[in-house]
Amino acid sequence: MLVENKVMERIIKHFVSHVSWIWVVLGASLLFFACDKESEGKKERASCFEKFDYKYEELLTKGDVAKHVAINEATYKEKISVTKGVYGYCEYQWLSNRPDLEIEISGQIIKGPDMDMVKLTKLDFYTDSELKLYSQSSALALFDQAYKKLNPSEYEMLLANLKKEYAGDPKGYEEAKGLLDARKNFAFQPVEDLGDRAYWKWNDTYGLELVVLAGSARFTIETKLSTEARGTLPVAVKLAKEVLAKCGRVSRDND
């Protein structure tokens, strides 16, 4: 009986060990599948944005804007950039009830209407070569590098990358370093639960800038609808979601 019990114990231990290993393999397989599926989804989303071919006015329409803010139709103006690509844009603006702006240009004070404004621009895509150049493993990491607050070690790493990129071009390096030094003073703040990552900053004259990452694609919404960020940011987030909704987990052809 004792011998039989020992044999049974060995069988049970072998069975438990074997089953545990199966669960480990199965868990790893499921994790790999989930990561692979997530990666594929991000590629599809970027591909969808590419299919819009920089038609910003289709990614964010006047109708999209009108869902979230009252438009003064009597003073409404629409601008669609003739420039195609990253620096193209669509802009919707109308007269606000705020006082005129006073802007100093070359020592002169220029007065003009402080318009309510919504603008979609700077649709761009991170590439594998950029990830390699800036020593980042993903578009998310590179996006964070561009907008989140830098700590000293991150600054030194970016400086080292610039030295590598501009080797043999001291003038270009000094210009790039100047931009990096200015980058240290960026005032961008994170937005939760928007795209894969999002950051915003506010300027009293020009309004709010919201940058959003979706897969390897990124875009910017510039908007001013009030005298302070808290009156504009919630609407900007809703407008960004309108853009993101154009490119979900499926391609544009299947929407």
* Per-residue pLDDT at 113: 93
* Per-residue pLDDT at 41: 59
Residue 48 contacts residue 247 (beta carbons within 8 Å): yes
- Element of type H or E holding 123: strand 116-125
What is the per-residue DSSP string for 16-57? Answer: HHHHHHHHHHHHHHHHHHHHHHHHHHHHHHHHHHHHTTT-HH
Residues 6+ apart with CB under 8 A from 101: 111, 112, 113, 114, 205
Domain boundaries defined on the chain: 55-149+186-238
* Per-residue pLDDT at 171: 92
Tell me which residue of 232, 221, 11 sits closest to 114, measured CA to CA: 232
SS3 69: coil
**Given the structure tokens 């544009």, which residue do they identify?**
252
Residues 6+ apart with CB under 8 A from 254: none
* Per-residue pLDDT at 39: 59
* Per-residue pLDDT at 221: 98
Tell me which residue of 226, 178, 184 sits closest to 202, measured CA to CA: 226
What is the spatial distance between Cα 201 and Cα 187, in angstroms, rounded to a whole number?
6
Per-residue tens of pLDDT for the chain, all 255 residues: 444 444 445 544 444 444 444 443 444 444 344 444 455 657 788 899 999 999 999 999 999 999 999 999 999 999 999 999 999 999 999 999 999 988 888 888 888 899 999 999 999 999 999 999 888 999 999 999 899 888 888 889 889 989 998 998 999 999 999 988 887 778 899 999 999 999 999 999 999 999 999 999 999 999 999 999 999 999 999 999 999 999 974 333 443
Phi and psi at residue 110, in whole multiples of 5°? -110, 125
What sign does the dihedral 211-134-216-38 (CA atoms) show?
Answer: negative
* Per-residue pLDDT at 151: 83
* Per-residue pLDDT at 43: 78
Tokens of residue 132, six digits? 């390699």
SS3 188: coil
Q: Are strands 189-190 and 116-125 parallel, antiparallel or unpaired?
A: unpaired
Q: What's the pTM value of the predicted model, to 2 decimals?
A: 0.74
